[in-house]
Amino acid sequence: MDIGTKIRSLRLSKGVSQKELSEGICSQGMLSQIEKNKHTPNFHLLAKICKKMEVKLDDLNEYTTTELTIKKNLKEELAVLFYQRKYEEIYVLIKSNLNSYFYTPLDKQLLLFYKALYYGFTNGKYHKAYEILEKALYITYYANKKSLSYEEIIIFNNLGIFALKMEMLEEGFHYLEIILQDIDTNLKIENNSKITLIYFNVANAYSKYGYYEKALKIAIKGIQWANKSNINTQLRLSHLYYEKAYNEQMLNEQNYIESYKTAYYLALNAKDDNLLKFIKSKISID
C-alpha cells in the first residue's frame, strides 16, 4: 500500500477529517496531495502525522525502509555517473523523481552540485554553474569554518574550476588553495579515498596554467594519499600518475617515461580507454 493511501486509511478509520489532521502540521491541500500519492512526505512530517493520529511511526516502517533503500540506490547511481563524467545522464536522473526522496538540506546541496556540473561541463554555462555551486555551498558552509566536509571540498573544487574557465584566475586558485590547506589538517576526511579525485583535479588545474612544479607536488601528494595504508585505493590513481608524468616532462625531468608507463598499466587495469589514448600520444608503449 502506498504511503498516501495508508495515511488516508488510518485517518478515515479514526474518523478524522483532512482539516483536523493537517491543522498545525501542514496545509490541507498538501495533506490531500499526500493522500493522493502526488507528494511524498519527509520523515519529520510523517512523525507529526503519526503523533496526531496516535499511531507509531513503525506502522509506516515498510514505507520508510523502502524509501531509504531507493534513496541509497539513487545516490549510488549518481555517484557512479559522476565518476564516469556522464553529466547528461545525471541531469536526466535529477529531473525525474529525485525530489520525492531528496528533501533534506544536504540532499538539496547534492542535487544543486550535480545540476551545476551539468550546466558547466555539458552546456558550457560556467557562470550559471558557478552561481548554483555558490548556492549549494552556503547551505552548510560559513566563514572561518574549521574543517570542511567532503561535499564542501568538492564544491570548492568545482567553484575553482569554473572560475578558472571564466578567467577569474585569482578567485579560482584561491578556492583550490582553500582545499589544499584544509586537507592537510582535516581529520574528518583523513580516511576518505575520494580525496584522490580532488588532488587530481587541483593538480590538473595548475598544470593547465603552466604551474608545473606546483602541479607535480600536488600529484605526488595525491599518489601518497592513495597509497596510505588506511586507504589503499586506485581511484583516479592512473590519472594522478599521468599528471605526475606530464609535469615531469614539462620540467624536463628524466623519469617521466616511467611515470607514464605506471599510468598506462593502471589505466589498462581500470579499462580507461580515454586515458590510454592520451598516454599513447605521449610515449610509445611496448
Specify whether the CB–CB gap between 4 and 67 falls below 8 A: no
Higher-pLDDT residue of 77, 130: 130
How many domains is the chain built from?
Answer: 3
At 273 the pLDDT is 92
Range of the domain at 15: 3-55
What are 177-231's pLDDT values in tens digits?
999 999 999 998 988 999 999 999 999 999 999 999 999 999 999 999 999 988 8
Any domain includes 149:
yes
Among 70, 75, 66, which residue's Cα sits nearest to residue 106? Answer: 75
Specify whether the CB–CB gap between 196 and 237 falls below 8 A: yes
Return the CATH number at 28: 1.10.260.40
At 66 the pLDDT is 62
Mean pLDDT of 266-273: 92
d(CA 77, CA 97): 13
Q: Which of 7-11, 59-63, 173-177 has the lowest mean pLDDT?
A: 59-63
Count the neighbouring beta carbons within 10 Å of the beta carbon of residue 15: 7
- Mean residue pLDDT of the chain comes to 89
d(CA 276, CA 267): 6
Whether 182 and 206 share a structural domain: no
Any domain includes 79:
no
Any domain includes 62:
no
At 100 the pLDDT is 59
Whether 16 and 112 share a structural domain: no
* Alpha-carbon 23 to chain mean position: 38
Whether 207 and 273 share a structural domain: yes
Q: Which residues contact 71 (CB under 8 A, 6 or more apart)?
A: 101, 102
At 106 the pLDDT is 85
d(CA 276, CA 269): 10
Any domain includes 74:
no
d(CA 218, CA 135): 28
Any domain includes 178:
yes
Q: Which of 33-42, 177-186, 202-211, 237-246 has the lowest mean pLDDT?
A: 33-42
Mean pLDDT of 110-120: 94
d(CA 155, CA 159): 6
d(CA 249, CA 236): 20
d(CA 18, CA 11): 8
C-alpha cell at 245: 608524468
Any domain includes 110:
yes
Whether 94 and 177 share a structural domain: yes
Mean pLDDT of 264-275: 93
Whether 98 and 179 share a structural domain: yes
Any domain includes 66:
no
Whether 138 and 181 share a structural domain: yes
At 65 the pLDDT is 59
Higher-pLDDT residue of 129, 71: 129
> Dihedrals φ, ψ of 36, to 5°?
-90, 5
What are 44-98's pLDDT values in tens digits?
787 788 888 887 766 665 555 566 677 777 888 888 899 888 999 999 888 775 6
d(CA 18, CA 12): 9
> Dihedrals φ, ψ of 81, to 5°?
-65, -35
> Dihedrals φ, ψ of 141, to 5°?
-90, 145
